[in-house]
Amino acid sequence: MKEFFKVPEVKYEGTESKNPFAFKYYEKERRIGGKTMGEHLKFSMAYWHTMCADGTDMFGVGTMDKSFGESDPLAVYKQKVYAAFELMHKLGIEFFCFHDRDIAPEGKSLAEFQSNLDVIVPIIEEQMKKYGIKLLWGTANCFSNPRYMHGAATACEADVMAFAAAQVKKAIDITIRLGGTGYVFWGGREGYETLLNTDMALEQDNYAAFLRMAVDYARKNGFTGDFYIEPKPKEPTKHQYDFDAATVLAFLRKYGLEKDFKLNIEANHATLAGHTFEHELCISRINNALGSVDANQGDEHLGWDTDQFPTDVYATTYAMLEVLRAGGFTTGGLNFDAKTRRGSNTPEDIFLAHIAAMDAFALGLINAQKLIQDGRIDAFIKERYASFETGIGADVRAGRATLETLAEYALTIGDVKPASGRQEYLEMVVNSILFA
Ligand code: XLS
Ligand code: NI
Ligand code: NI
């Protein structure tokens, strides 16, 4: 078997290690609160970035060669499979995610695309068995092809929707065949550029109808996993319908889809929507809709989806705090929807990026567990709302209070002086725990 990456299997060596190809914090078998780090974190490789993205941007062609020594398209995609599994195996990553277009060339027609997929999928299946690697989620790319320029499920032309249906149907078949526990919808072109040419009500009705058809088809064919919608406010469209977690939840409830769908929260999409990563995770958690995570980070000075590998330990700490509060992942995991920078263009960089990100999330998990065990943050929050445990507050919680009883009570208490929120103190507590 050809070796694609001249990198050894990556092992945990601890914080003293200066070996770039070693984990400093991620110790797969280390137990943290009843589960191993590996079980908590459920790392996944994103096929599109890692096996396909070549550094192309608006101003220049690719800087990375991801043809793996072949030139015929189908041969290239066969090699990508072997390279992908070598990489995941060497990094100890147990899951992957894909779009249909990432794993096989589109060819000249829909039929050719489908037969190309039929060539590649058995190879993926065989490699999954060989390495014990699993599918986290599958999806269809209904945004790159020019036919989707006005949308896919929300296109203004019904024939376009039919093409999208064909892609989604096949991607669901593949997801089921490979035992995937999730299926993602990210509406890259499901949105609009101007209301001057858009019937938003019709487009949203169509989107819901399309999702319903996908759920019905998948359930009928034995899919028991979760469907996820991945919110993103913009890019490529000016205004995307799956704007943020709260918008998506309202949409799902309007159309009665909330039983089948959870959310796939991506860090960089949260920040594009003007939210923190932990805000989107928290919204999902308190609505019992936290499904999976696209683990990456943006650049605070850039207004687009830079999809960088996550290395900001405060962000991973607050994210893992939400994941732990939600009770951990079930069907989902941490998918590195991230690409190395255009200038980090060697195969080694792909390893270094994953190692850095896995260590950042390992630290996030360790820190989040420490914050919970220390208890000061949770105790502070509990105390802050203590007035809702007795008296008039308890009446509100129990649904016994009315506007009249509250008004009557207010007249008896003179004035009220709210206690300090102590933000700086809490930030100090966090630092004292993180850097103890
Ligand atoms: C793009 C999205 C995409 C989804 C899957 O911004 O993150 O990669 O994760 O279609
Ligand atoms: Ni994503
Ligand atoms: Ni993204």
**pLDDT tens digit string along 315-344?**
999 999 999 999 999 999 999 999 999 999
- Ligand 2 centroid distance, CA of 208 (Å): 20
Beta strands in 74-186 (DSSP E): 95-99, 134-139, 182-185
Res. 360 pLDDT band, cuts 50 70 90: very high
Q: Are 91 and 10 in contact, with CB atoms under 8 Å apart?
A: yes
- Ligand 1 centroid distance, CA of 186 (Å): 6
Q: Which protein residues have a CB closer than 5 Å to ligand 2 (ion)?
A: 266, 294, 337
- Reported as a single tens digit per residue, the pLDDT across 9-40 is 999 999 999 999 999 999 999 999 999 999 99
Express as a percent the part of the chain with pLDDT over 70. Answer: 100
**Mutation to probe ligand 1, out of 294, 308, 335 (largest number of atoms < 8 A from CB):** 294
- Ligand 2 centroid distance, CA of 294 (Å): 5
- Reported as a single tens digit per residue, the pLDDT across 124-162 is 999 999 999 999 999 999 999 999 999 999 999 999 999
Rounded Cα distance, 84 and 77, in Å: 10
Distances in Å between the Cα of 100 and the Cα atoms of 16, 115, 162, 176, 431 are 42, 12, 16, 13, 43
- Reported as a single tens digit per residue, the pLDDT across 185-235 is 999 999 999 999 999 999 999 999 999 999 999 999 999 999 999 999 999
Q: Which ligand lies nearest to the CA atom of residue 270 in the structure?
A: 3
99 is catalytic: yes
- Ligand 2 centroid distance, CA of 243 (Å): 13
What pTM did the predictor assign? 0.98
Handedness of CA 229, 231, 237, 238 (dihedral sign): positive
Q: Are 122 and 130 in contact, with CB atoms under 8 Å apart?
A: no
Rounded Cα distance, 234 and 43, in Å: 26
Q: Kindly report each contact of residues 107-111 with a partner whose C-beta sits within 8 Å and lies 24 or more positions away, as own/partner.
A: 107/73, 110/163, 110/166, 110/167
Handedness of CA 306, 310, 313, 316 (dihedral sign): positive
Whether the predicted pLDDT of 1 surpasses 90: no
**Nearest ligand 1 atom to alpha carbon 232:** 6
**Nearest ligand 1 atom to alpha carbon 335:** 9
Which residue in 99, 269, 275, 354 is the catalytic one? 99
Whole-number pLDDT of residue 255: 98
Residue with tokens 């390893």: 351
Distances in Å between the Cα of 211 and the Cα atoms of 131, 151, 170 are 33, 14, 15
Span 391-399, average pLDDT: 98
Q: Are 152 and 164 in contact, with CB atoms under 8 Å apart?
A: yes
Res. 110 pLDDT band, cuts 50 70 90: very high
Mean pLDDT, rounded, of the chain: 98
Which residue in 102, 173, 260, 294 is the catalytic one? 102
- Ligand 3 centroid distance, CA of 239 (Å): 15
Whether the CB of 317 sits within 6 Å of ligand 1: no
Q: Are 282 and 244 in contact, with CB atoms under 8 Å apart?
A: no
**Mutation to probe ligand 1, out of 44, 101, 230, 243 (largest number of atoms < 8 A from CB):** 230
- Reported as a single tens digit per residue, the pLDDT across 79-103 is 999 999 999 999 999 999 999 999 9
**Nearest ligand 1 atom to alpha carbon 48:** 8
Whether the CB of 100 sits within 6 Å of ligand 1: no
**Mutation to probe ligand 1, out of 232, 237, 264 (largest number of atoms < 8 A from CB):** 232
- Ligand 2 centroid distance, CA of 21 (Å): 26
3-state helix, strand, coil in the chain (%, to 5): 50, 10, 40
Q: Which residue would you say has higher pLDDT here, 1 or 189? A: 189
Q: Are 83 and 91 in contact, with CB atoms under 8 Å apart?
A: no
Whether the CB of 137 sits within 6 Å of ligand 1: no
Nearest CA to ligand 1 atom 8: 337
Nearest CA to ligand 1 atom 2: 186
354 is catalytic: no
Span 52-58, average pLDDT: 97
Distances in Å between the Cα of 359 and the Cα atoms of 25, 65, 309, 430, 436 are 5, 26, 11, 19, 18
Rounded Cα distance, 186 and 114, in Å: 21
**Which is nearest to 85 in space by CA: 61, 117, 50?**
50
